[in-house]
Amino acid sequence: MGAGEGRYPAAVPATDEIKERIEAEVDRRADVLLDVSRRIHARPELAFAEHTAHDLLTNVLEAEGLAVERGAYDLDTAFVARAGSDGPTVAVCCEYDALPGIGHGCGHNVIAAAGLGAGLAAAAVANELGGRVVVLGTPAEEGGGGKQIMIDRGALDGVDAAMMVHPAGVDLRSMDTLAIHQVEVTYRGRAAHASAAPERGLNALDAAVLGYVNVAALRQHIATDERVHGIFLEAGTAANVVPALTRAHWMVRSPTRAGLTALKERVVACLAAGAEAAGCEIDLDWQDPAYDELLTLDAFDDVWAANLARTGRRAVRAGDDGAAPVVGSTDMGNVSQRVPSIHPMIAVSPPDVPIHTEAFASFAGAEAGDRAVLDAAKALATTVADVWIDDELRDRIRAEFDLRRT
């Protein structure tokens, strides 16, 4: 890629002086960043309805002089902000949707504010260092696949690398992820009076229960790193009426998309067998997009770990020093399969507090969450600078990316 005028020499990592200046840019905006984090936390919004968070973030980006497109890629709560005119392009992703019932139990307020801070700090030196930064506001990570929708509509066109950070109970180099596909299952039977004429009914609840039991039996015979879990959404209306319709929601997870495809076939067979046994019909509505597994890159993770160490934290691999892995699924996996990416975890709670809980939500909105916002923003922004400046680093990252994708 061509070097911008005034850019630092190629193949030279960002110096301490450069990184200190970038970190100072974060500190200078600390009050704004923490205010955004706290306000998003106080008003949790679900997938594709994150209007307050969208406006908070874009207002700050516009006030800082970035070129902002609100409602980007035909998604009301997505946005894109750009800075820099030449050089490698790095995308910083912000998530800001909440969970039903428990608010920011996944700490997306921290993700949003840290991404905002990183984008602003990087933008302040973009022209000087010869790089471009794109801040992507990505709605609906908790279900809806906002990133994949944005990818399909061009959000990663021209992007050389992407990054974000996620809160957890420990500082991890990366997240252990599973590919996932969700499905809503509808069973259709025939209603009848459960006492006067049960023989005339076809019990859709029986179909759902039998399907559930079949999947429960299947779990004994799947790989230890695969997951299948589900709930009933609708199970009838009265005990004396044979249920004519029931609905369930299932999640199927496997370490790879190839494994996911095979596991889905087995799960469908279990669910369909329940319908056949009860004489009912079954409809499967797979909730696209599916989420890919995260493609992790040691060369890229090393840069993050080194820059996070500047804040006094130590990013470890799962298993090191007894650090438990954080296992889940994310549409950042879809990003990572298309451009080199990082998805590290930053501690906001004690290690024994799991994500997706009310307890974790409390930590994400308190002082520990504030510290994580600032530390993560600094480490992300200095990592952006390393990617911009160091041609050899970009080559190593790209080579590992190409090798692991084959």
pLDDT of amino acid 128: 95
Classify domain 179-291 by CATH architecture: 2-Layer Sandwich (3.30)
CB 306 within 8 A of CB 262: no
Here the tokens at position 264 are 């889905």
Q: How far is CA 106 from CA 78, 99, 111, in A?
A: 19, 7, 9
pLDDT of amino acid 3: 37
- Nearest Cα neighbor of 137 from 161, 113, 158 is 113
- Nearest Cα neighbor of 26 from 132, 130, 122 is 122
Reduced to 3 states, what is the DSSP secondary structure of residue 80?
A: strand
What helix, strand, coil percent values describe the chain, rounded to 5?
45, 20, 35
Q: What is the residue-level pLDDT of the chain in tens, covering all 406 positions?
A: 333 334 444 434 678 999 999 999 999 999 999 999 999 999 999 999 999 999 999 999 999 999 999 999 999 999 999 999 999 999 999 999 999 999 999 999 999 999 999 999 999 999 999 999 999 999 999 999 999 999 999 999 999 999 999 999 999 999 999 999 999 999 999 999 999 999 999 999 999 999 999 999 999 999 999 999 999 999 999 999 999 999 999 999 999 999 999 999 999 999 999 999 999 999 999 999 999 999 999 999 999 999 999 999 999 998 787 777 778 999 999 999 999 999 999 999 999 999 999 999 999 999 999 999 999 999 999 999 999 999 999 999 999 999 998 6
- Which residues are CB-neighbours of 338 under 8 A, at least 6 positions away? 151, 156
pLDDT of amino acid 7: 46
Here the tokens at position 140 are 């609906």
Domain boundaries, the chain: 16-176+293-405, 179-291
CA distance 112 to 95: 5
Reduced to 3 states, what is the DSSP secondary structure of residue 82?
A: strand
- Nearest Cα neighbor of 3 from 67, 88, 115, 91 is 88
pLDDT of amino acid 406: 65
Q: In the 8-state DSSP scheme, what is residue 174?
A: S
Report CA Rg, the chain.
Answer: 23
Locus of tokens 């952006």: 384
Judge residue 18's burial from the number of C-beta atoms within 10 Å of its C-beta, 0-12 exposed, 13-18 middle, 19 or more buried: buried
Which homologous superfamily does the CATH classification assign to the domain defined by 16-176+293-405?
Zn peptidases (3.40.630.10)
CA distance 93 to 78: 11
